[in-house]
Amino acid sequence: MSRLLHEPTTFLTNLPVIVLGILWGSGIWEAYGRTLHPFHFNLGLSFYTLAGGAAAGAVFHGFRRHFPEVMHQRIWKVALMGIGLTLYFNLLAATAAVASPVNYLSWRWVPAGGLALFALQTVKFHGFGHSVKFLALGLAVALAAFGLLAWRHPEAGPISLFLGSAVTVAGGGLWATGWSPHERFNHNDLFHVIQLVGLWLVYRGALLTTTAQLP
């Protein structure tokens, strides 16, 4: 497998993110069919876009030696946009979870502006460093919003949403250090495993959060 794949472990750890992103996104959209609340709509979309970004990431890390550099960079930018869209929809879901419908309609343009800036710098620059600051800020805002929801309604759903966001933020912080437990299980692989735990908590929280707990 190592002859075919450039980073086989990173490729493999992307696969459950793809599959579960689709499955859990579908589950959250089923909840949206019952609640018709933008929280569930946007959170379900964030799982779908995460799956798309992970698919591009799997191709990037797994098959990079088979592509010319220009194509390689384009695949990476697709993966980055998947991450950016995931954060965008996550922020919309977090906003809908704590803001009144009127305020949600007003504030949703802030994440849209952030996404536009993210897309601009993704197209303009190579690498990942320029994207980290946007992702860090967005994850912190989403964590604060879900923390507020859990404080307002200290019940299973909102608490699970907050814990899932906290696990993802902690995993991102560990990823930023570059630490890994083994040379064949790098910081990207470790983050994917931690991310799956966070995703399950968010998924569980989304299903347990009712319209009575949302604005």
Q: pLDDT confidence of 70, banded at 50, 70, 90?
A: confident
- Name the fold adopted by 8-213: Rhopdopsin 7-helix transmembrane proteins (1.20.1070)
Rg (CA), the chain: 17
Query: What's the pLDDT tens digit per position in 154-170?
Result: 999 999 999 999 999 99
Q: Is 54 in contact with 82 (CB distance < 8 Å)?
A: yes
b/e map of 102-141 (b: 16 or more CB within 10 Å)? Answer: eebeebbeebeebbeebbeebeeeeeeeebeebbeebbeb
User: What pLDDT digit, counting tens, does each position of 36-54 carry?
Assistant: 999 999 999 999 999 999 9
Side chain identity, residue 172: G
Separation CA 39–CA 36 (nearest Å): 9
Q: Any idea where the domains of the chain sit in the sequence?
A: 8-213
Please give the distance of CA 118 from its chain centroid, rounded to a whole number: 14
Q: Model-level pTM greater than 0.85?
A: yes
Main-chain dihedrals φ then ψ at residue 92, nearest 5 degrees = -65, -40
Q: Judging by beta carbons within 10 Å of its beta carbon (0-12, 13-18, 19+), is residue 94 exposed, middle or buried? A: buried
pLDDT band for 132, please (50, 70, 90 cuts). Answer: confident
